[in-house]
């Protein structure tokens, strides 16, 4: 008889626990959905702000393009780090490597580094080694 009473009490406690937990789970789900929606809106807004950096990119000089492109990339990295999901971060990393602007910025940086090699070293062997290192850095 004691056994049945203990089982009945355990079942009753279990039911009360479930009834208490269920509304909390629903609130957590609703809070998560609003958090996700808010993050998406914040991300969209931040990305629009980042794109303003490159509005007149076609009129930029080479040095202005380098600065603007670097700032644009940095802005997007920050926006996705703050508001993006892991999947969005992975997609951005892949897109960033394929972006024509990335290639253009890398080419400008490569040319600048090669010019620095020529200015920094007087010995041709040192210049060649420096340029070789630059080519490894910017394939």
Task: Residue 82: give the domain boundaries.
Answer: 2-98
136 domain-assigned = no
**121 found inside a domain:** no
Q: Could you tell me if residue 11 is inside a domain?
A: yes
Q: Is the per-residue pLDDT at 24 higher than 70?
A: no
Residue 36 falls inside a structural domain:
yes
Domain for residue 131, yes or no?
Answer: no
Give the pLDDT band (50/70/90) at residue 31.
low
Q: Sign of torsion, CA 35 37 39 41?
A: negative
Q: Determine contact, residues 109/66, Cβ cutoff 8 Å.
A: yes
Mean predicted lDDT score pLDDT of the chain: 78
pLDDT interval class at 116 (50, 70, 90):
very high
In this predicted model, what pLDDT tens digit does every residue of 45-100 receive, in sequence order? Answer: 888 888 888 777 778 887 888 888 888 888 888 888 888 888 888 888 887 777 77
Angle at alpha carbon of residue 62, lines to 113 and 44, rounded to 5°:
105
38 Ramachandran zone, left/alpha/beta (phi>0; psi -120 to 50): alpha
Confidence at residue 66, expressed as pLDDT on a 0 to 100 scale: 80
Q: Residue 130 — pLDDT band, cuts 50, 70, 90? A: very high
CA gap 88, 118 in Å, rounded: 41
Going by C-alpha positions, the residue among 68, 28, 72 that lies closest to residue 48 is 72
For residue 106, pLDDT beyond 90: no
Is residue 129, in this structure, part of any structural domain at all?
no
Total domain count, the chain: 1
Residue 108 lies in a domain: no
Q: Is residue 85 part of a domain?
A: yes
The answer to whether 54 and 68 have CB atoms below 8 angstroms apart is yes
Please give the DSSP secondary-structure letter assigned to residue 55: T
- Confidence at residue 131, expressed as pLDDT on a 0 to 100 scale: 93
């Amino acid at each position: 008889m004691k056994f049945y009473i203990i089982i009945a009490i355990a079942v009753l406690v279990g039911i009360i626990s479930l009834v208490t937990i269920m509304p909390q789970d629903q609130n957590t789900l609703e809070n998560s959905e609003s958090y996700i929606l808010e993050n998406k809106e914040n991300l969209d807004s931040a990305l629009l702000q980042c794109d303003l950096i490159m509005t007149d990119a076609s009129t930029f000089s080479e040095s202005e393009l380098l600065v603007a492109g670097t700032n644009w990339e940095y802005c997007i990295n920050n926006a996705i780090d703050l508001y993006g999901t892991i999947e969005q971060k992975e997609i951005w990393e892949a897109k960033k490597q394929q972006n024509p602007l990335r290639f253009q910025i890398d080419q400008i940086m490569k040319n600048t580094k090669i010019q620095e090699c020529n200015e920094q070293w007087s010995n041709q062997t040192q210049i060649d080694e420096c340029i070789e290192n630059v080519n490894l850095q910017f394939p």
